[in-house]
Structure 1
Amino acid sequence: MAETFTTVAKFQYSAEAQIVKGRLVAEGIKVFLFDNLTIDTDPLVSNAIGGVKLKVLSTDVIKARHILESIAKYSIDDDGQPVVCPNCNKKEIEIFSTITNLKSLLAFIFALVANLLTSVLPIYTKHKYRCNNCKTEFEISK
């Protein structure tokens, strides 16, 4: 009987797929990445071709999906603990960039160019957290 592969996940970039592939391989599942070399060569085509496809043997689909569901999808702090929303106390928190409009993008580009000219590091980019439950945006003090 010929072994067939089934796509169980898709990723924007191959680095994300490689991390998940490593987890599945550690669990004894044969994994094949499709279109990863194309996207590594030209990342701008990722959306056009549907991203990097993570495929497993058809006989391992249920086990692979169970493992994928167990992987934390939300933000954790520096100690590995889930970030908790200060408003609703949920743990469904995602990080996002504050570069959201033309003004903030131009400020980021200006800082980048100034950094290249003066060799001053680091480049400052601001990230915030957003709760998927109540949509509260907040920062974490370090």
Structure 2
Amino acid sequence: MLITIARFTYPYEAQIAWSKLDALGVPAYIADEHTINMQWLYSNALGGVRLQVREEDEQAALLALAEDLETELMQQEGFDTDLCPVCDSPNTEFYQFGKRWAFLIFLGLDFPLFPVKEGIQCRDCGAKSKIDGSK
């Protein structure tokens, strides 16, 4: 019997998770991928694209999907991460300032007039700050 371990809005997200499990030797299956490829508006109605595994592989699959290798990959590839100006943590992620206002102005005027600026958000302390190049 197959158990759904994850649901995704888009089929490519399920394919990425499936390939991670396949690389680790965990057999996995993707359900509703073709239906949502043909009619993407059905995604929410069907509960998204489902990633399924056998019952005996459930724990191994969940552990594999929960593993976050972003930091190691960035170090391996030589990317420099921006430090949080509040707590000096390198555990930051990309953040955009002004998305909400840009969306509201777009709804009202049908034209995007509000600039969106790039920044970072610290995963440790939650502080948000703008990147030097976008001030």
Query: Are the counterparts in 2 of residues 56 and 64 from structure 1 also a CA contact under 8 Å?
Result: yes
Percent identical residues? 28
Query: 2:35 is matched by which residue type in structure 1?
Result: T
- Report what 2:126 is aligned to: 135
RMSD over aligned Cα, in angstroms? Answer: 3.4
Query: Are the counterparts in 2 of residues 99 and 105 from structure 1 also a CA contact under 8 Å?
Result: no
Normalised by the size of structure 1, how large is the TM-score?
0.66
Between Structure 1 and Structure 2, which shows a larger proportion of helix residues? 2
Query: 2:119 is matched by which residue type in structure 1?
Result: K
Which string of whole-angstrom CA distances, capped at 9 and with x for unpartnered residues, describes residues 54-75 of structure 1?
A: 111111111111111113478x
1:103 counterpart = 2:105: yes
In structure 1, distance between residues paired with 2:68 and 2:28 = 17
- Structure 2 alignment gaps of length 5 or more: none
Tell which deviates more after alignment, 53-62 or 80-89: 80-89
Count residues with an aligned counterpart: 126
- Report what 1:121 is aligned to: none
Which string of whole-angstrom CA distances, capped at 9 and with x for unpartnered residues, describes residues 31-58 of structure 1?
A: 1111222222233332332211111111
In structure 1, distance between residues paired with 2:68 and 2:37 = 24
In structure 2, distance between residues paired with 1:13 and 1:96 = 22
Partner SS for 2:99: coil
In structure 1, distance between residues paired with 2:15 and 2:44 = 18
- Structure 1 alignment gaps of length 5 or more: 112-123
Distance 1:128 1:66, change over 3 A: same
Partner SS for 2:25: coil
Normalised by the size of structure 2, how large is the TM-score?
0.68
